[in-house]
Amino acid sequence: MVSGLALVIRGQFGDNGSMPRTVAAASLAVLLGATWRTPAGGTSRSAALADALRGLVVDGRVAPGTRLPSERDLAAELGVSRGSVSRAFQRLEEAGYLIARRGAGSTVTLPAGARPAEPPGPAREGELDLSVAALPAPDPLLAEAAARAVTALARHLPGLGYAPAGLPELREALAARMTARGLPTTADEVLVTAGAQHGLRLVIDLLVGPGDRVLVDAPGYPRTLAAIRAARGRPVPVPLGERSWDADGWAGAARVAAPRLAVTVPDFQHPTGIVMRAADREAIALTCARAGTVLVSDEACVELRLDGPALPPPLGAYDPGGTVVTVGSMSKAAWGGVRIGWVRATARVIRELTTVRGAIDMAGPVLDQLVGVELSHNWDAVIASRRTLLHERRSALFTALAEHAPAWTVRRPHGGTSAGARLPTPDATRLAAAAASTGLLLSPGPAFSVDGTFEHHIRLPYTLPPETLHDAVARLAQLARELGTETRATSPSSGDAAAAVI
Amino acid sequence: MVSGLALVIRGQFGDNGSMPRTVAAASLAVLLGATWRTPAGGTSRSAALADALRGLVVDGRVAPGTRLPSERDLAAELGVSRGSVSRAFQRLEEAGYLIARRGAGSTVTLPAGARPAEPPGPAREGELDLSVAALPAPDPLLAEAAARAVTALARHLPGLGYAPAGLPELREALAARMTARGLPTTADEVLVTAGAQHGLRLVIDLLVGPGDRVLVDAPGYPRTLAAIRAARGRPVPVPLGERSWDADGWAGAARVAAPRLAVTVPDFQHPTGIVMRAADREAIALTCARAGTVLVSDEACVELRLDGPALPPPLGAYDPGGTVVTVGSMSKAAWGGVRIGWVRATARVIRELTTVRGAIDMAGPVLDQLVGVELSHNWDAVIASRRTLLHERRSALFTALAEHAPAWTVRRPHGGTSAGARLPTPDATRLAAAAASTGLLLSPGPAFSVDGTFEHHIRLPYTLPPETLHDAVARLAQLARELGTETRATSPSSGDAAAAVI
């Protein structure tokens, strides 16, 4: 194989007349938002447009392999000159984000050295990565679990190594843990997956086809949107309320969209950190049951409570019957390098998901599952070690914010791994681009939206060491001041701003 | 969550008017073939039809969650009475393979205790499983690799554990191995996956959309078909020749189908065991390059050569540029419980596949990858241990076949893990059903086809211990005699039948 991708691209993009992956000019205009129209001093309109397009690619909102609209169509849609669009495309091509082919339009790609959306690899030398919300492994608990797992492995080596639904002992352990958390579960109601994302993807592959609507939190987890789009479903955003979910909004969306599936993160929602009230759990589960909508509850962070009131019972506990499917993970609560998650559903659905898995990755690794078993034996200690770290780092983040970014509105979450910050001006994408150019990576609000909204917001994980977090916030606040985001306020800050920033 | 699946099914199947997964009566008729029309003595037509339908579900040719055509439509298509179809559906419902809902048709599912298509879990007590072609772990090499991996893990624990494209040291090791096999490869041209199937699925997710055509070997690996169908692509079978591939057939199919993708297993093809000749490699790679078709070469068994002539250079070595993507795996060559595979493509495609992975399972487990690194350090010994086992077991299989099933045509493959056997009569599905009822599991030929053909064929893995293989063949041959497959020959056996059965 030589260097060229020419034939791959040709195969991919419709020389044969079949359906290419495209983004229409109107959709792209929505995703682009309006920030690029008022570039910072010294930046041309076409450079700002190129930056905005690059932001969409880097955030995963426009997938590699997508064909862009023609320069002419996009210019007409945006109401700018074709020359501006043409110069923007040329910039992107030079930077390695576009492949232009005469007569076949421009296709989005990733240049050498580009980092896909979270989670990328380990931070590079000199990089400060606020785009990942992940902790180092619990020491020495993980190393000990791995050592015990190797001992337990001996018993499995004479077998064939395939357990598509998961090792029985791990299914038992996960079921027991869910039962203890208030969600009575048997082992045959558990499928072991390679993480919560993998579990969600299996459910989507089982239930969602082209054009099917899926309700999602707005803002919500970017990879949820990516998984829905991979199945060619249509995510339908339901805006979150200020302190919980908007149950009436859910009822209305379910009525209008007739969704096949809905996905929510009820405990320390990502990226806002809020918790769904018990009454909203009950109402939303009932709404979905009535609409015939399967409701996926993503519990990746449920065990990372740090303070505040006790959590309501799991969303699955409000299930009137066969509506709620729960996904969870050790990869967030223990360590990202252990790829163990689960789906909890009826035994019948678990069997169907196991078959779906056969067309994806067949089965999970035995050794990693044995690590999961060993971790589960010591789970309280694992969680305690995570909480200690997160407590300390959350404090560091909020101390730094109070010192360096007093104008930002940030509510201190009671658990999970990150907080959402509201900037005084809708400049999140611009701030993220400026930060990236200095080696500071950041997820801007639009990365968490279906439609490019949330430009006032950035996500701030508190997973880096305290001194690193302090440094990152100081640099970010300085960049924001340079961009003028502190002085061009376009919307009033919310009522509880002062109280929220501690 | 209580027991019912009612709401899941309602959500899944179009109460809301969106697109359900269905199989049309005409397609189902093709999949069913004709064998059920001439049931063995004492079996009713409707029972035979029910058995044939169950075979399609168990083989994964009709996926769980698929809605069947109405009884009336299917009866008309098959030219039988509606009562026959109705009784067949009722049998399936009683056996737990169908869920019938008034007004919403019948939906395929899996009953408690059903085994999805290969690989299922470990064989149950008393079961003899010829449906899986997998070996126990190489002893003590795997245990030693796991122990060393735990030591190597310590260095990774302070990190976040995410390496979406794979641990650098494993990418290096895999690239070095491919280079040594005649396929010069750099680490950035390698994506570490959870097995060859996972790698293939990533390529399909990147390139194949609804309705896109994908050329496949006929017969071919069932999970390849499942992965194509999961992306709603259309597999286009290209019949294999007697001893190699039909390069002219490929050229014709590429012209007519204008496929986006093609998938083949050039080395010890699954299930036939044949090897693609060098001239055919060159011709097929060129055909795909000219058609703008990406050609996936699945090399899961390439290192399991037992005897015969040296293999031609890898298919990727014939790539005129950017056409061939190679997938491979340690899971077949080392142990199924180690889920390590890879994709080899241009660095740019690898970056795009890494992004696709983000919507599936994000990254692989660190410890399992370290086991892969350790195995790669000792790879020649691992492969040697596999070859020793496979040599011995292949001999046992062919000795048993010569003794018990002299009328079957079986060519001794020069490598891989299984042989294809041709029965004197087209009764593979019936034989598999009869065997299953005695606890002997078997993959009939139609499981390897797009259209229910290959009823003359069964796959015989030589991965079980010699005495077990002998027992299995003896029981299978006895069942075949009871079904009359030895005495109702309907087609002449091929010219080299005698030579082929050793």
Predicted-complex ipTM score = 0.86
Locate B368 and state its tokens. 């399992």
State the number of CA atoms in the 13 A half-sphere of A128 facing the CB. 23
pLDDT at A16 over 80: no
Q: Nearest residue on chain A to B201, judged by CA atoms?
A: A360
Closest CA to A183 of A191, A175, A192: A175
Closest CA to A220 of A323, A288, A148, A296: A296
Which residue from B63, B258, B354 is facing A116, i.e. has the nearest CB? B354
Over residues B166-185, mean pLDDT = 97
Percent of chain A having pLDDT more than 70? Answer: 89
For residue A325, which residues of chain B lie inside 8 Å, CB to CB?
A: 8
Determine the Cα–Cα distance for residues B425 and B486; give it in Å rounded to an integer.
7
Over residues A116-128, mean pLDDT = 60
The radius of gyration computed from the CA coordinates of chain A, to the nearest angstrom, equals: 23
User: Is B102 in CB contact (< 8 Å) with chain A?
Assistant: no
**CB contact (8 A) between residue A150 and residue B154:** no
E-assigned strands of B273-429? 294-298, 324-329, 341-344, 409-410, 418-422
pLDDT at A3: 30
Q: Are strands B190-193 and A440-441 parallel, antiparallel or unpaired?
A: unpaired
Determine the Cα–Cα distance for residues A53 and A75; give it in Å rounded to an integer.
14
DSSP string, A211-236: T-EEEEEES--HHHHHHHHHTT-EEE
Encode pLDDT of A193-212 as tens digits.
999 999 999 999 999 999 99
Q: Chain-wide mean pLDDT for chain B?
A: 87
pLDDT at A420 over 70: yes
pLDDT-derived band at B54, boundaries 50, 70, 90: confident
User: Which residues make Cβ contacts (< 8 Å) with residue B386, sequence separation at least 6?
Assistant: B135, B138, B304, B333, B334
Do B141 and B385 meet the contact criterion of CB atoms below 8 Å apart? yes
Over residues A263-290, mean pLDDT = 96
Determine the Cα–Cα distance for residues A160 and A153; give it in Å rounded to an integer.
12
Determine the Cα–Cα distance for residues B391 and B387; give it in Å rounded to an integer.
6
Burial B44-53 (b: 16+ CB within 10 A, else e): ebbbbbbbbb
User: Which residues make Cβ contacts (< 8 Å) with residue B227, sequence separation at least 6?
Assistant: A359, A360, B197, B200, B201, B204
For residue B329, which residues of chain A lie inside 8 Å, CB to CB?
A: none
Determine the Cα–Cα distance for residues B446 and B61; give it in Å rounded to an integer.
9
Cα separations in angstroms, A250 against A194, A316, B10, B186: 30, 17, 19, 50
**CB contact (8 A) between residue A110 and residue B189:** no
Determine the Cα–Cα distance for residues B21 and B74; give it in Å rounded to an integer.
16
Determine the Cα–Cα distance for residues A295 and A261; give it in Å rounded to an integer.
6
pLDDT at A66: 81
DSSP string, A396-430: HHHHHHHHH-TTSEEPPPSBSSEEEEE-SSS-HHH
Determine the Cα–Cα distance for residues B371 and A367; give it in Å rounded to an integer.
9
Output the CA torsion sign for A409, A421, A297, A285: positive
For residue B7, which residues of chain A lie inside 8 Å, CB to CB?
A: 289, 292, 294, 321-323
Determine the Cα–Cα distance for residues A427 and A418; give it in Å rounded to an integer.
20
Encode pLDDT of A131-184 as tens digits.
989 999 998 999 999 999 999 999 999 999 999 999 999 999 999 999 999 999
Output the CA torsion sign for A203, A208, A213, A218: positive
Q: Nearest residue on chain A to B358, judged by CA atoms?
A: A223
Three-state DSSP class for B193? strand
Which of A5, A130, A339 to substitute to test the interface with B, most B CBs within 10 Å? A339
Closest CA to B123 of A162, A354, A399: A162
User: Is B136 in CB contact (< 8 Å) with chain A?
Assistant: yes
pLDDT at A117: 54
Which of A9, A10, A15, A18 to substitute to test the interface with B, most B CBs within 10 Å? A18
pLDDT-derived band at B338, boundaries 50, 70, 90: very high
pLDDT at B1 over 80: no
pLDDT at A333 over 50: yes
For residue B210, which residues of chain A lie inside 8 Å, CB to CB?
A: 19, 210, 232
Q: How many residues does chain A have?
A: 502
pLDDT at B51 over 80: yes
pLDDT-derived band at B114, boundaries 50, 70, 90: low
In this structure, what are the phi and psi dihedrals at residue B110, rounded to the nearest 5 degrees? Answer: -120, 130
Cα separations in angstroms, B136 against A160, B139, B247, B465: 5, 8, 37, 10
Angle, in degrees to the nearest 10, between helices B25-32 and B45-58: 90
B35 vs A492, more confident = B35
Sheet holding B457-461, edge to edge: B409-410, B418-422, B457-461, B443-444
Q: Nearest residue on chain B to A338, judged by CA atoms?
A: B365
Cis amide prior to B140 (ω within 30 degrees):
yes
User: Is A121 in CB contact (< 8 Å) with chain B?
Assistant: yes
Over residues A229-245, mean pLDDT = 92
Encode pLDDT of B217-262 as tens digits.
999 999 999 999 999 999 999 999 988 999 999 999 999 999 999 9
Which residue from A261, A337, A349 is facing B5, i.e. has the nearest CB? A349
B42 burial class (0-12, 13-18, 19+ CB within 10 angstroms)? Answer: exposed
pLDDT-derived band at A61, boundaries 50, 70, 90: confident
pLDDT at A14 over 50: no
Q: Nearest residue on chain B to A255, judged by CA atoms?
A: B16
For residue B292, which residues of chain A lie inside 8 Å, CB to CB?
A: 7, 10-11, 15-16
User: Which residues between 236 and 295 in chain A have a beta carbon less than 8 angstroms from any beta carbon of chain B?
Assistant: 258-261, 289, 291-294
Name the residue type at position B195. Answer: G
User: Is A313 in CB contact (< 8 Å) with chain B?
Assistant: no
Encode pLDDT of A212-227 as tens digits.
999 999 999 999 999 9
DSSP string, B353-384: HHHHHHTTT-S--HHHHHHHHHHHHTHHHHHH
Q: How many residues does chain B have?
A: 502
For residue A366, which residues of chain B lie inside 8 Å, CB to CB?
A: 337-338
State the number of CA atoms in the 13 A half-sphere of A183 facing the CB. 29
Determine the Cα–Cα distance for residues B461 and B128; give it in Å rounded to an integer.
12
Locate B48 and state its tokens. 């035979």
Over residues A27-46, mean pLDDT = 82
State the number of CA atoms in the 13 A half-sphere of B45 facing the CB. 13
Size of interface A-B (CB pairs under 8 A): 414
User: Which residues make Cβ contacts (< 8 Å) with residue A336, sequence separation at least 6?
Assistant: A119, A134, B160, B161, B162, B363
pLDDT at B60: 67
User: Which residues make Cβ contacts (< 8 Å) with residue A61, sequence separation at least 6?
Assistant: A31, A222, A225, A446, A447, A452
Do A166 and A190 meet the contact criterion of CB atoms below 8 Å apart? yes
Do A315 and A266 meet the contact criterion of CB atoms below 8 Å apart? yes
pLDDT at B489: 39
Which of B67, B319, B355 to substitute to test the interface with A, most A CBs within 10 Å? B355
Lowest mean pLDDT segment, chosen from A322-331, A442-451, B3-12, B410-419: B3-12
A207 to chain B nearest CA, in Å? 6
pLDDT at B293 over 90: yes
pLDDT at B43: 81
